[in-house]
Every structure is written in C-alpha cells, then in structure tokens.
Amino acid sequence: MPENHNDPAIKEAAALLGIPEDKMTPEILSRIAEQYQRINEASAPKSIFAFFDIEVFGYGIFFDKTFPIRGRDLADICRECKKAVLIASTLGSGIDMLLRRSQAEDMSDAVILDACASAEIERVTDLAESDIIKFLSPEEHLTMRFSPGYGDVPLEDSQKIISALSADRRIGLKLTGTDMLVPMKSVTAVIGISERITGRSKDCTSCSRRESCAYKKRGGSCDIQNK
Amino acid sequence: MHTKKEVVPVTFRINENETIIFDGAMGTMLQKRGLKRGEIPELLNLTAPEIIRSVHDEYFDAGCDVVSANTFGANRYKAEMAGRPLADLVSSAVEIAKKAASCRKGKYAALDIGPCGRVLQPTGDLPFEEAVEVFSEIVRAGNKAGADLILLETFTDLYELKAALLAAKENSDLPVLATMSFEENGTSFFGATVESMVLTLQALGADALGVNCSLGPKQLVPIVERLLRASSIPVMVQPNAGLPLFENGEARYDVTPEEFADHIKKFTEDGAVIVGGCCGTDPGYIRLVKERLEGVASLRKRPPLRTGVCSPSRSVFFGDDTLIIGERLNPTGKKALQAALRAKDMDHVLKEAICQQEQGAHILDVNMGLPDIDEPEMLKKAVIEIQSVVDLPLQLDSSDPNALEKAARVYNGKPLINSVNGKKESLEKILPIVKKYGAAVLGLTLDDDGIPSSAEGRLRIARNIMEEAQKIGIPKEDVLIDCLVMTVSAQQEQAAETLKAVRMVREELGLKTVLGVSNVSFGLPSRPIINRTMLTMALMQGLDAPIMNPGDKGMRESIAAFRVLMGKDPQASGFIAEYSGTDENQPKTEIVAGVSFGLPQAIKRGLKKEAEKATEALLSRMGPLKIIENEIIPSLDSVGKEYESQTIFLPQLMKSAEAAKASFELLRGIIAKEGAPGSEERAKIVIATVQGDIHDIGKNIVKVIMENYNFRMIDLGKDVPPQRVVEAVKENGAEIVGLSALMTTTVSSMKATIDLLRKECPLVKVIVGGAVLTDSLAEYVGADHYAKDAMEAVRILGPK
C-alpha cells in the first residue's frame, strides 16, 4: 500500500500517465495518491501460482507434457529452463465497478484511477514473484515474467494458464470471448526457472506494444525495465 | 406381477426432517486416477466411462444419497475445446450417474452445472440472454438423459447464477439446488453477499440454496450462520476439505475426515438439510459424515420471510428503518433528461444515479417512459447500465408490462416492480412477471373504479392485490402498498384518508408501505413546507419508504429528526454527524476566497464550479454560441497545445476538459430550453469501442474532449457489434465514426466494422485509435485516419 509520494507504485502510476519525473507537480502527486487510496479500498488482490516441468521447443513450451503455450520469444527466454511457474493475479471485480463509476463521474480522476490500478496489479504480481522465489533452491533463478500478449505469445493462451491453475474457481479470473482478462486489472504470466541468472528486465524489443507504445511514440519508454 | 428388476421411479424431494447427503469431490478423485492439470475432466465421460462410474459407486458405497454427474464444466465453450458435442458430454455423464443410482434404493443423480467460464456483461462480454442459452442447452440434455435434480454450484457471480436458474426453470420441472462460493468475509469474487444471494434465489424459486467449495468447514461457520439466519428455504453446505496447501503446485487440504464430519454434524444440528463435500473430499470423508449424522436431526425453525430487495452487493429490508426511494430517474417534466434519452445518452442517467446515492437514497426508482422512445429497450438498457456503476437496489417503474418484464429479466439481484394495481388486467399481467423473475411488487390502491376516496376502500384493494399475489405463490412479504397521495389543493380531505390507509394497510394486512409524497402540494405556494409535513405525518402512520427527491434538504431533515425522535438513530449519532458543526462539514471548495476566475482561467485550471460561475456571468453579455466559440474552444486549444508540448499531461488535460464540460452542459441546457439561432452543433460523430473489446477508457477520454469542441457525440459504449455502428450512423446521419480497440485480438473486429461501414455507409469518415493501433494497422483495417490521442482527432477534423 503506497503511503508516500516516493512510493514506487505511485511513481509507476505517474509513468503510466506519461508524466516524466521532472515534470511532476505536488498537485498531481497528491491526486495520484488520492486515487491510489480508492484502489486500495476497493481492491481484493489475489495471486496464485504453480510449478511445472517444461520442455522447450522452437515455437513454444510444453507444460507437464499436457499443454503448450506458444511463442518463439517465450521459448527463447526459457531456452535453458526445465521448470517454469505459471502465475495469475487479480485485483478483483470491485475495481471494475469502481473504474466504470469513476468514468461516469469525472474522467480526469478516472484516467488517474486507471493508471493506479495498473500500477497496483503489477505490484501485486511482483509480490507474488517474491513468494515464488522462496520456493527456489539457491541455484535456481527466475527469468523475466512473460504474459500472453507479449511478443508472439497469443492472448488466447491465457486460457491455458487459467485452466492449469483453476484460476477461475480459485481467484475468480476469467476470459472474454476475445481473450481479455476479467476482472480487468489482472495478470497471467509464465516465468521460467533457470539455473543461470538471465536478464530479468522487460525491454521494448520483446514487448507486444513496441510498435504502438505511447511512451515510445513520445521518444521514451514505460520505465518498466528500470524497476 | 412386478419383476424384481423393474424400477419404480422415485422423485427427489427435500424433506426438512431428513438430511440428504451429497457426494464429495469429483476432480480430486479423477486426479488420483491420473487426470492432469489442464485436462478436460468431462471428456472422460466418453473416453473412460468406467472411471467415472467407479467414482460414483465409491461415493454411494460410502453412504451418500445423491451423486453429481461429471458435468460441472460441460458447456458449449468446453465442448468446443474438447471437440465433442455438448449433448454427448452431458448425457453420457448423466447416464453413468443414473446407472450407478438406479441399481441402489433411494439414490439419485444430479445434473451438476458450474459457472460457464465467461463473464456476463457489463463486466465481461457475455450477454445475459446468451448465458441463459448456454445453461439451457445443458439443462435440456441433462433433463432428457434422466437427471433427478439440478445442482447449480460454485457460482461466484450472482448474475450468472440467475441466468442458470432461469434456464433450469424454463427447460425442466426438476428440483433446483443452487450454491455459491464465498470468501471468508461472506462475499463472492464478484461481490455478491450471502444475504443478496438468499433474497434473489428464494424469490426466483430455488428449492434449496447454500454454499460450496471456497473454504474449509471451519471458515464456513460464520457464512453458514448467516445463511441459516437469512434463508427461509432449505440450506445446503458442501465445504472443501479445509484450505489448500500448495506443495509443488499440487493442492493438499488441511482438514481430516474426522474434523470434517464433526463440522458437518454441527451444521446439520444448526439447520443445514443438505450436506456433502467439495474439493479435496473423497469417499472417506463422506463415509464418516454418514456415520456421524446417524440419528442427528435439525432443530432449526426457519426464519420468517422479510420484505427486502437487493443488488448483488447490497440488500435493504423494509421495516427496520426509513428507506428513501430516489425518484429522479424519471423523464416526466425533465427536459434535459428527455433530450438525453432521445439521444440514447446514458451519461446523464448514470450521473443522476450516482448523485442520488451520494445524497442518501437506499433504492432508486427507474422510469424511462417517454412517448416517442422504445421504452422496454430503454428501461432494460438503463437497468444494465445503472447496475454497472451503482450498487443500490432498483425499483423498476413502468406502466408497460413488456418493459417491466424485460427489465426484471436482466436485473441483477431482486428488484422492486413499480407497479401493479387492483385492475384485473394489471393483476393478470404483472404478478406472473413478479413471480417468474423473483421480484417484490408495489401495489397501487386503485382499480377499475379509480381511487377509492375512503381509506377502507384502499385497504380493500390492497387486500385484493395481496391475495391475488399469494394465489400464484408470491408471499405477502413481497407485496408492498402505495396508498396514493392526492393533491390537497384539489381534494383537501384526501390527505387524511391516505394517511389513515397507510396505517390500516400496515396494521390489518401487515404489509410494508411506500408513498410518493410530493404530489400532495401541487398548486400551493411554498410546496416544500407541505411536502415535508405530509412526509412526517406519513412516517408517524408507519410509512416504510417515501419515494422522494433525496436531494430535498427539508425532507431529509424531517427524516433525520423523525429517526431521532423515534429512537431509530441511537444516541442521535447520525443526526449529530450530519447537522453539527456545519462549518467543518462544508464540502471542500475549489475556490480561493475572494478570487474569481474568468472562464478561460477556470478551464485552464480545471475548476468545474468556477467554470459554471464564469459561464453564468458571461451569459449576461453574450449568447451561448458565442461563449462556446470565443471562450471555451480557444481555452481548450491552448490547454491542448500545452499537452502536446508536454508542459501538462493527461490528468491536467482531462481536468480542463471536465471544467469545460461543466460550462458546456450549462449552455446546452439553455440552448435546449430557449433555442439559439445558429446554434447547431458541428458534425455528428458515432463513437464506439469495437466488438469484443471491453476496455473503453480511451474512447471515453476522446468523447469528453470532442464534446467540448461542440461535436455531437453518439456514444455506443464498449463491445459494440459492427451492425450497431452502422445502424447508429444511419439513424443519426452521422458523418464521422470513431472506433477504438485495445488488443490485437480486437483489431480484426475493427476491420469487420469498417468493412461493413464501407458497404452500407460509403460516405462516412472513419478515425481509429487505441493502444494497439499504428498508422500501418490503421491502413490495414481501412480507416481514413489514425489519431494517437484526442487532441489529434480534433486536429484531423479541423477548425470550424
């Protein structure tokens, strides 16, 4: 729960709003903190994960010899892994109603609220990652977190993560017919477990939005890789 | 004569004195037999029926009365993934369970139906009617295959459960048991509370209701207590074998069969009639449950029904305290709302709904009756949209039975239907809707002879309405009465009769009462004095819920005072909080004392109230159109430039846009009332987030900005099918279409929309935007322009 303006989650929300640090004003910072508070009040964060044996092919990964998740980019990242974690996290459906309500009330608060919710789900997923690390042996390391929609991993493969984790029943996470996550502020991802330390950062080259990214269009980046 | 083999069909029945034991987990058993994570369990019905049969046999041998067929996840979406016809998956499963049951005495097979894996609109993209159909096809297949009963279980969305229950009722006569999964705080993932579930399912006619899955028996104790306190129908409990401990991704549960059985015994003694197990339980658990329940009987007296209505997350009960029913969602006499409804613009409705909630309304009346609009469609749409932003229960208000039926069907929770009256036709049309869709109903004391002038006459009609409702199975607790206020300036003696009738209905029939008070003062000066006094007098007669404007300060004060004087506000703490130290309680104001701004400064700084004040000041000097052209648009242009040069950012831009909008709305109101020569808007723009896409914040940003540039925005919302975009363009003669898409998966539906537009509306210009879009993608989908943000869209359309 971010309590002060230097909180990384608040900074991330500011980054998502496209506000560079040197252009930040106390007024906006306090508005972000205020909206973040609303997220904290309505949020019911939940994360689940499970470990799987994997086989990596050129075009994707096979989990437990049962189901594949496709994507060359993902396969490249997990090239040396024999195990992987599937993770799913969500802020819960209360946030969806809050976001809708806020848009009906005041769009200027709504854009901030939306960014705060995005920052918060990243934070919640990061926390789950720290839990995952506790299960690893000293020789094991996590690769970067890779979600359907990144690179060439199809969005529809979220369904496989949801099924394998029973995320529907356990944390209320589902997909629309077009493979969007519901509740809206949720994450599904694959993290490889490697015996070598790999680059943990997301960089723009493997991002599905590299062509369309608003930050890139403005000559910057979303700063996610600098965390 | 009968051969031994002939089976006498026995109907499944719930008997309050006999506990019914269900089986334990199916998934847990299948995993033990080698089912892997991510595999589809229902496929085994076809590929390995003997495995499923052996699970049922084990449970029956352990002593359960009912097994659940292996159909929990069998729906059209799963069937497609499995590559098998749904009917095959369902009927094979039911047949296997039936066979296991019918070679034993007094044993039954339930068609087991779980959530379908998709999310209903407006949170997700599954339309309510499609959800009903998804469940209907499961019910039809299971019913045909001979299921003895239907178990709807593990639902977390009350709305989806309502769809499933309607499907069960519309496609079979089988008994239906319905359970939801709750978190420890008694709320489901989708925000439904125990009490709302009970109100809704009871009214919809479930045969039993309860909780399953979610938690272990220990954590379920407080939830089961709440269920037993609230439910007047049999209660069912199927806990997990404790909480899951995850070891290497595999779930193990932390409650032993002994502890489990002890808890179940306690639940049974407290009043649960149907018990069983969920995740992690196996025949070992059920065997012990069977043993422990030997000779145990429930001593529960079912709690009496209470008069209540609900949304999924909020239940309100009449009688505990005065309830305010907000009356402002009604176009009668409201020009701005009428104009908004004709333009199919829901923003106004949503703002009004939120505002009434903030002013203290407990229930919102929703009336969409205008002679020149499609009222049934509009009421349905309004209900869906209001429920997507406000969690208050709604009162569906129409004189058109068709509108009431449509709205009651899609309502999420238990609504109050306004209204039925003593006319035969009204009773015959309205009461079946109330019954089928699980509503409460407000009865007006009038009939074919009009409104009786005596209280006794109104009591007679109220009694008749109550009895007619009871005849078709609506309990009297779900009937409320409005004794009808008459205009005192025309019929002075009538006020006293209405008040008397309120008391008589309460005392003689025991029904709750509702009253729209404001009509009383028509034709008199200082109407608020009469209104609030009438309200106070009615409250003294026992009125439960006035229909009123929750923004009426005087009436709210009267209620607050009444609550203190009648001891409904302990220690007057509510009153003190509201009315003491008013200085401290002043809402924080945007205005620095003594300083006032011109409109351009107010817009630049994003000050809504100041923008309104400045606009009012300007109106003495210039017409609305001049203000838009000379003040608002140039101010926005300058703010927009600062945004583009990154001096300010999206939050500030939107704050200015909201301030400009406040000014704009004031001007629109004046133009609507007085008309202004040459005040026509710029181009009409149909704007939509494409089908399949539920992320519409980007579209909403663009809409607010464009509105301020005096474009007429026709907002179709999110997840909009191509055909609807085309219809809206034709209907409104729009020149421009704005489409947004967030994900790669919905770019194809953007293309489909544009393809259809090119065919049907060749002259229309299409601008696209959204996170995933680029110039090249815009070209691929066939758009005329790609706008990276709202300001660019304004630039593309050019200065006026």
User: What's this model's pTM, rounded to 2 decimal places?
Assistant: 0.91
DSSP assignment of B332-359: TT-HHHHHHHHTT--HHHHHHHHHHHHT
A198 CA to chain B: closest CA distance, Å? 23
Render pLDDT for A54-111 as a digit per residue (tens, 0 to 9): 999 989 999 988 899 999 989 988 988 999 999 999 999 999 999 999 999 999 999 9
pLDDT under 70 in chain B at which residues? 1-10, 246-251, 581-596, 675-681, 799-800
The residues, ordered by sequence, that sit 6+ positions from B393 with a Cβ below 8 Å of its Cβ are: B309, B310, B311, B314, B315, B316, B362, B363, B364, B413, B414, B415, B416
B57's enclosing H/E stretch is helix B49-62
- Provide the β-strand partners of residue B514: B482, B545
Using alpha carbons only, how large is chain B's radius of gyration in Å?
30
Number of CB atoms found within 10 A of residue B779's CB: 11
B264 CA to chain A: closest CA distance, Å? 23
pLDDT for res B249: 54
Number of domains in chain A: 1
The residues, ordered by sequence, that sit 6+ positions from B105 with a Cβ below 8 Å of its Cβ are: none
DSSP assignment of A41-59: HH---EEEEEEEEEEEETT
Model-level ipTM above the cut of 0.85 = yes
CATH number at residue A18: 3.40.109.40
A12 CA to chain B: closest CA distance, Å? 15
State whether B693 and A178 contact (CB < 8 Å).
yes
Q: Which residues of B touch A166 (CB under 8 A)?
A: 37
Contact (Cβ atoms closer than 8 angstroms) between residue A161 and residue A190? yes
Q: Which residues of A touch B696 (CB under 8 A)?
A: 103
CA–CA separation, A45 and A183 (whole Å): 11
Q: How many CB pairs under 8 A join A and B?
A: 167
- Provide the β-strand partners of residue B482: B444, B514
- Provide the β-strand partners of residue B329: B366
pLDDT under 70 in chain A at which residues? 1-5, 198-227
Range of the domain at A87: 8-196
Q: Which residues of A touch B388 (CB under 8 A)?
A: 97, 100
Strand boundaries in B634-711, DSSP class E:
684-689
Nearest to A172 among B156, B347, B692 (CB): B156
Interface test with A, best of B26, B36, B37 (most A CBs within 10 A): B37
State whether A97 and B123 contact (CB < 8 Å).
yes
Using alpha carbons only, how large is chain A's radius of gyration in Å?
18
First to last CA, chain A: 17
B248 CA to chain A: closest CA distance, Å? 6
Interface test with A, best of B649, B707, B748 (most A CBs within 10 A): B649
B738 Cβ under 8 Å from any chain A Cβ: no
pLDDT for res A4: 58
Strands B235-239 and B363-367: unpaired
CA–CA separation, B668 and B183 (whole Å): 47
**Distance (Å) of CA B358 to CA A195, B185, B413, B626:** 56, 25, 21, 35
Structure-derived torsion over alpha carbons of residues B224, B228, B232, B236, reported in degrees to the nearest 10: 40
CA–CA separation, B345 and B475 (whole Å): 38
Number of CB atoms found within 10 A of residue B588's CB: 4
State whether B351 and A96 contact (CB < 8 Å).
no
A209 Cβ under 8 Å from any chain B Cβ: yes
Q: Which residues of B touch A155 (CB under 8 A)?
A: 743-745
In a domain, A218, yes or no: no
pLDDT for res B744: 76
Nearest to B190 among A23, A93, A101 (CB): A93
Interface test with A, best of B384, B389, B791 (most A CBs within 10 A): B389
Residue-wise over B752-764: b if at least 16 C-beta within 10 A, else e?
Answer: bbbeebeeebeeb
pLDDT for res B623: 87
| Among B170, B181, B174, CA closest to B151 | B174
| Residue B333 burial (10 A CB sphere; 0-12, 13-18, 19+) | exposed
In a domain, A223, yes or no: no
Q: Which amino acid is at B308?
A: G
In sign, the C-alpha dihedral spanning B603, B605, B606, B609 is negative
pLDDT for res B800: 53
Contact (Cβ atoms closer than 8 angstroms) between residue B750 and residue B777? no
Supply the DSSP symbol for B194.
H
A199 CA to chain B: closest CA distance, Å? 25
- Token look-up 């499933």 returns B164
Contact (Cβ atoms closer than 8 angstroms) between residue A164 and residue B37? yes
B586 Cβ under 8 Å from any chain A Cβ: no
Q: Which amino acid is at B643?
A: Y
Number of CB atoms found within 10 A of residue A159's CB: 22
Phi and psi at residue A124, to the nearest 5°: -65, -40
In a domain, A39, yes or no: yes
A192 Cβ under 8 Å from any chain B Cβ: no
pLDDT for res A223: 45
pLDDT for res B5: 47
pLDDT for res B730: 95
State whether B123 and A182 contact (CB < 8 Å).
yes
pLDDT for res B188: 95
Residue-wise over A23-51: b if at least 16 C-beta within 10 A, else e?
Answer: ebeeebbebbbebbebbbebbbbbbbbbb
